[in-house]
Amino acid sequence: MSPSDRPLTAMIDASAAPPDCTAYEKAGGWQATRKALKTCTPDDIIEIVTQSKLRGRGGAGFGTGQKWSFVPKKPASEQRKYLIANADEMEPGTFKDRLLLEGNPLQLIEGMLLAAYAIQASHGIVFLRGEYHLARRRLEQAIEDARHNGWLGENILGAGFSFDIHMHAGAGRYICGEETALLTALEGRRATPRSKPPFPQTGGLWGAPSVVNNVETLCNLPHIVTNGARWFLSLGTGADGGTKLYGVSGRVRRPGAWELPIGTPMREIIENHAAGMQPGYTLRAFLPGGASTAFLDATALDVAMDYSSVEKAGSRLGTGLAIILDDRTCPVGMLHNLEHFFAQESCGWCTPCRDGLPWVARLLAAIEDGTGESDDIEQLRRHTKMLGTPGRTFCAHAPGAMAPLASGLKLFRDDFAAHITGHGCPMRHAA
């Protein structure tokens, strides 16, 4: 495929050294920056991105241009503003941003520069997952390279706009994926979410207007600005514009991630790109967008992987990287593993999440170990209502944690019952 068919991954080979500024420019990099700073106003860039219908690729799917439009219009010289790249990729089953960071960090830098120009922010920060050591080294080198070549710093291209990027490595907390908890962590405080309003766009980092965008979202911007909104819209298969990084983990022949038109069906992703299930295994269900999305069963394989279609099917697109449940893996054990993770990662700020998630994890552990009781299934169902209803907890951590459990209790109820009546996991006993 040509680079225009694959805008994000055309220059990416994460196993090789990423391109430097010279190679990046030869491949078409920095064209968008020249266009933006020389011929466009900040409002022009916001309008292009709004028309492209680019939605946040971190999981929430909020309109990127709309998000930017809430930022006060004062120029960077009159008001301090921040542009933050959320690279704290802690969602289980998700690894797309790591590929972008390791394969072509200059693409992220240019995307950040364009977003910063649009909202008139002079300060950029990459909030990076602490375990991404290779990504950190390559990103640090790319930032220095961009500074040395005049793409970061004062008066870029003589256009009167200044912007620089600093990197912050996180300490390994899942809750930092929530944008307000991320901002609190950047301020050197305990990573707890904030109440809204004020929203970050008007009162974010240290009280200044701030925009937090996902790495994949930002990496789309150079291509949108260079080629236009209509071009980006033409890459999708439905109402949503552009391409999406999709991935599959689990017992497939070829786990990985691929850039495909947004709206590509899960069947095509699994059978064509992941090469189907491994011999002897059958797909039973899948989490379509990471661990905090609801299970869909094999009847949903032909659902288009876009925001509205997956929602109509009963789940969320999330990060777009699916976790496969096969017929030889215990769904109760899988759910216990997920809920144990979510319980550990609660920030502890609100009581339902702090105390409810460990209780859920203990119930699942008991069922898996053979000490579960008949009322435990109903107890779990009540917890999915108490913790999973938006507004009953301070942020979306607990509702996200309840998504796989609520759907699992419906799809795998017979498995739960068999664990209780048989005093343990039937698959373990069979082995």
What angle in degrees, to the nearest 10, is found between the helix axes of 376-388 and 351-369? 150
| Cβ contact 118:229 at 8 Å | no
According to the model, what pLDDT value does residue 15 have? Answer: 67
Strand partners, 130: none
Q: What is the 3-state secondary structure (H, E, C) of 125-143?
A: EEEECCCCHHHHHHHHHHH
CA dist 333 and 355 (Å) reads 21
Strands in 105-254 per DSSP E: 123-128, 153-156, 161-169, 210-214, 243-249
pLDDT, tens digit, 9 for 90 and up, residues 304-346: 999 999 999 999 999 999 999 999 999 999 999 999 999 999 9
- Residue numbers of the chain with a pLDDT score lower than 70: 1-7, 9-15, 429-431
10 Å Cβ neighbour count for 352?
A: 16
Pick from 279, 233, 274: nearest CA to 255: 274
pLDDT, tens digit, 9 for 90 and up, residues 143-195: 999 999 999 999 999 999 999 999 999 888 899 989 999 999 999 999 999 98
Domains in the chain, ordered, with CATH? 21-235 (3.40.50.11540), 243-326 (3.10.20.600), 331-430 (1.20.1440.230)
According to the model, what pLDDT value does residue 1 have? Answer: 37
pTM higher than 0.75: yes
Pick from 330, 322, 335, 327: nearest CA to 255: 322
Phi, psi of 208 (to 5 degrees): -90, 155
CA dist 97 and 8 (Å) reads 11
In the block, residue with structure tokens 């664990």:
419
CA dist 328 and 343 (Å) reads 26
Q: At 52, which helix (H) or strand (E)?
A: helix 42-52
